Structures are given as structure tokens and as C-alpha cells.
Chain A
Amino acid sequence: MFLDSDLLMSALRALTPILLAALGGALCERAGVFNIGLEGMMLLGCFTSVATSWFTGSPWLGVLAAALAAAAYSLILAVGAVTLKGDAVVLGIAMNLLAVGLTSFLLRTVFGVQGTFDDPSLQGLPLIGGFSPLAHLSWAAVAVAALLLSRHVWGLRLRGVGEAPDAAATLGVRPATYQYGVILLSGVLCGLAGAQLALGNVTLFTENMTAGRGWIAVVAVMLGRAAPLGVLLAALLFGLAEAAGFRLQGLGLPQQATDAAPYVVTLGALFLTTARRRRTPRPSGARS
């Protein structure tokens, strides 16, 4: 049997980091900030969680430190794009590059190893009900984000800031405050995503271990049209692709085919949805 509960379980495990990061990206998108620094914030979260868990012996402190570190890191985007009105795309690319360099540098100076830090005594996250606690948190976060955006005054103001910042400012809502808020929140979420990747899915740190997952999250934001439930579905698609890839590898397909699978599936899904969207007239005011 190819589609069975095992596959679904491994898909749900692969889903968590993408979902957390994509939620952060979706909130930013709603507030009018194009955040492509997810990959870098996530990678920093990976390293911080592993380093903290190693030195304190507590994976929980690792998770906390990852969230704080990535949030602090996200200030680069907040200050650069919101306050100084710099180019968010270039800032995002630079943040991703900086994270690769910084984590590789720290890996060598702090742990004195190159490539991978892997130690049997490194504490990973325990499972609760078969899933990482961060997986439960990610599902709760989807619900909270969906309710917040559609029902709470903060969500309404946030969307207002994204769709018509001048109008929002006229009504006494300060766009910068909301944009700082969501960027910091996306930092926290990406830090958690990194902690899940490095202390949940596996228990180690490897250079550049996010391997494009932050970019998949950026695509998930596009696919899901920056709505929490849409993002959940998009991330689930990626999780299934990754899980199916591992399964196919078990059936004798070369590893390279399975490595490429998530990206091909994501691109395919992107084609299908944008092709359909192009036939239906775009609602006025929506951003391309």
C-alpha cells in the first residue's frame, strides 16, 4: 500500500517546519511586507536550538533560545525595510546568506567541527501523542492566526495596513507598529521551525540544513494566498511530496530523484493554481 497512515504520519512530520515558517511569511504578506528571509531565520533557529540544548541540556531552552535569536535576527528586516525603507527582497537574500555564513562560522568556532555537529548526548524534543510539541503548536497557531485575521480587530487592522497603509494611517493605525510586530512574529515562528528541524525531525546540526525549506515556505505563502488555512494546505502538499520521496527511495529510486521531488511538486502546484487564477478575474485591490 502506498498511501497509508505511515505516509501521512511522515508527511505531517515533514510539514511542521514549513508550516511554522510559512505562517510567519503569510502574516508579513498580509501586512504588506514581502519576507523572503524565512530560510535564514530558520537556519539560525536550527543552530541556536542545537547549541543551547547542548550547553544547557534542555531542549526546551533550545526552543526558547531559537525563537528569541531568530526574532532578534528578524530585526534586520524590520529596521531595514520598514524604518529605513530599504529593499525587502535584497535584505531577505542578504539575511539568508548571512545566516549560512554565520552558522557555519559559529559551528567551527563554538563546536570546532566542520559540516555536521552530531552527538549522542544532544537532547532532542520529546514526542507528545506521537508528534513533536511544536507540531501541536503549529496547528494551534494556524487556528489562532485564522481567527485573528478574520475576527479580531488586530487582524483587521493588520490587513488594512497591508492593503492600504495610507488609509490605515489616516484612521490612526500606525503601519510601522504592525509591520514590526509581524516581522518579529515571523522571526519567532521561523526560530521554532528551525528548532523543530534540528531538535525534532533530526537531532543534529548540519551546514545549510534548511536546504531551501524557507523558500518552499515562501511559495506556500503564495500558493495559500497568505491565508492560514491555505498555507496549511500548501505546506501539507509539500509534506506529502517529501514523505512520498522518502517512500520512493525505499523502492529503489535514486536519492537525487527524491531530493528534487518537493521542488517539482511545489512548482507544479504553483503552475496549476496560478493558471486557474489567471482565468478568473482578479478581485480589485488584490496584489499581483
Chain B
Amino acid sequence: MTRTSLAGALRSPLTFSVLAGLVIGALFLVGTGADPLTAYEAVVTGALGGDGIGATLTTTTGVLGLALALAVPLRAGLINLGGDGQMVLGGITAAVTGLNSPLPAPLTVVLALLAGTAAGAGYAVLAALCENRLGVPLLVSSLLLSYPAVSLASYLARYPLKEPGSSLPQTRALPDGVALPAFGDSTVTLGLVLVALAAAAYWFTDRRTALGYEIRMTGLNPRFSAYAGVERRGLTLRLMSVSGGLAGLVGAIGVLSFPYRFVDGSLTAPGYTWTGLTAALLAGAAPLGTVIAAFFFAVLQVGGLAMERTTEVPRELTQVLQAIVIVFLAARLRFPRRLFRKRVTV
């Protein structure tokens, strides 16, 4: 029994995809004249060693936050491609709130987090309304809305809200104390805890509530769930507001962490949205799987830098690796049954 289930797990498209990704990544490494084992070792030690673990956990905050944001609608078969816009609006809103709030610092932090979340949620709801009321597919409406939002935030950081006298496209620094508490000297902040709590809430909703069941059923078979009485438009609206809210929260966390201001491009440059989407797709939006996949990709992303230092292979290779994994997964390739039948019968 355990043998067959082990064989089943090994035969799953997921295992095949990850292994195929690693093998093709190794071929790339050989092609550029590097030793794959050294390179992969550099990835792991670079990301999980004493020097890298802080960066890995900071990156995990962003990647996991966006992965959850995209997993929530994906669980119902909806794809939100507007994570960048929702995150950036959350960030700039948090920055404006933090700079102008008359409240004491700790309350300002809470207010900024809430404002950022609300901004992201509101913008994502706009994309949902485009699908519900105007018949523009969510995939397209969310993505097209994302570009103007990024442009708007960039404009605000460069002109009206720009720090006077600075040559950088950034807002003024938030007042003293308006920041998420960090763990020790690291750049890891309470934001990681917030994102982890969101993951726990997602797990609970998915596994233990009627809403979670409705979402999963809609993802598996939208016509069946509609027949069973799930109201699709309302569900789209709710899921997108949660999705955008999480993306906005990540933006707010980014602004309330070092360097405690909104810097144009600093939220989108690490590619949280796409890495997060990849993680959510890899896990099929399952809560626990999304957490694992997000951590895996955060390790790849941070470890990629270490790999570049040791082997001089560009870190972009990790991005290639991620995409290859998803290509194989989407094509639903798996190891042929023959390979395992032998092992089980012998």
C-alpha cells in the first residue's frame, strides 16, 4: 500500500516537472561551462546559510504573500494577472498614509497596513467588475489594469510625492517608529508573520469551511457548482477582493520595511507577482503546497545570487528553471507507468 502510494507520488506530474526542471537547469549549467553540483550547492548554501537566510525569509514574505494572493482566486479557476498593480497601489497608499497620519506611530502602522490592503482590494474588485458587468475576461482585465496602476505609482513617486532634494524616484522616509518591527538586526519583519497568518487563514478556509468547499468545487467544475447554487459573480468579486487585498498588503509591508519609504520600481523589480503565480500554479493553489512552493522559489531566487557569485552563471537561470517546471506541469507529463510497475511487482 505505502509502496504503491509512494510510486503514485513519484509518478505525479509534480515530481516529474520539478525533476525535469532541475535536469534541464543542469544542462544549461553544463552548457555555460559550470559544474551543476557546485552550482546547485551554491544555491542551497547561499539561500539557507547564515548569510542568506535573512534575505531568503524577506523574499519569502513577498513571494508567499503574492503566491497566496494569486492562489485564492486560482483555487476557483480564476487567474489574477494584476498582482503588480494591486501591490504597487497598496505600497503607495501605505506610504501616503504613513506620511500623513496624525495618529501615534504604532496605530499609524496598523492604519497604513489596512489602507494598503484596502487599496489593493479595491483595485482588484475593479478587475472583477470588468468581468462580471462588462464581459472582459478577468485574465485580461486584471493584467491591463495593472500597467496604468504601476505608471500612476511611478508618477506619484517621481513628481508630487517625491522627496525634495533627492535624485532618486522615491517618497520621503516614513516618520520615526512608523515601521514594522524587525527580528533582531535582520531585514525580516513582522510582515513575515502577517503573511504566515494569512496562509493559515487560507488553509483553514479551504479545509474547514463551506466557502472553501464552494471555491474548490468551482475550480474543479464551474458548471456543477453553478448548478449546485454557487453564485459565480459574487464569488469572483469576493475572491478578487481577498486576492488584491493580499497583494496590497505585501506592498504595504514592503513600504513599512527597510528603506521605510516607497521607491519606484522596488516592489516590482523582485518579480514577486510572477514568482508567486508560478508557486501557486505549481501547488495547484493548495494552501500547504503554496507555502512550500513559495519557499522553494524564494530559495531559488536568493540562492541564484550566490550561484552567480561562485560559478559566474547568470542568476536569470533560476527564472528559466521556474518557468520550465510550469511548462512541464501544464503539459501534465509524468514518468511512464512501466518504470514503476517493475519496482512494485518485483
Contact = CB atoms under 8 A, between A and B. Distances in A.
B143 A101 contact: no
B316 A98 contact: no
A277 interface: yes
B144 A267 contact: yes
Which of under 10, 10 to 19, 20 to 34, or 35 or more describes the interface residues of B? 35 or more
Nearest to A211: B147
A263 B147 contact: yes
B108 interface: no
B322 A97 contact: yes
A101 B320 contact: yes
Interface in A97-126: 97-98, 100-102, 104-105, 108-109
B135 A278 contact: yes
Contacts of B155: 254, 256-257
Interface stretch (A88-96, A137-145, A169-177, A225-233): A88-96
Contacts of B144: 215, 219, 263, 266-267, 270
A218 to B, nearest CB: 7
Interface stretch (A15-23, A47-55, A78-86, A186-194): A78-86
B44 interface: no
Q: Is the interface of A mostly helix, strand, loop or mixed?
A: helix
B332 interface: yes
Nearest to A271: B134
Interface of B: 28, 32, 79, 81, 130, 134-137, 139-141, 143-145, 147-148, 151-152, 154-155, 158-159, 274, 277-278, 281, 313-314, 316-324, 326-327, 329-333
17 contacts: A76-B331, A84-B331, A86-B331, A90-B330, A93-B81, A93-B326, A94-B278, A94-B327, A95-B323, A95-B327, A101-B317, A101-B318, A101-B322, A102-B320, A104-B314, A109-B313, A275-B134
Given A219-B140, A270-B144, A271-B130, 16 more contacts: A84-B332, A86-B332, A93-B79, A93-B81, A94-B330, A98-B327, A101-B323, A105-B28, A109-B32, A212-B143, A215-B143, A254-B158, A257-B151, A267-B145, A271-B136, A278-B135
Interface of A: 36, 76, 79-80, 84-87, 89-91, 93-95, 97-98, 100-102, 104-105, 108-109, 212, 215, 218-219, 222, 254, 256-257, 259-260, 263-264, 266-267, 270-271, 274-275, 277-278, 288
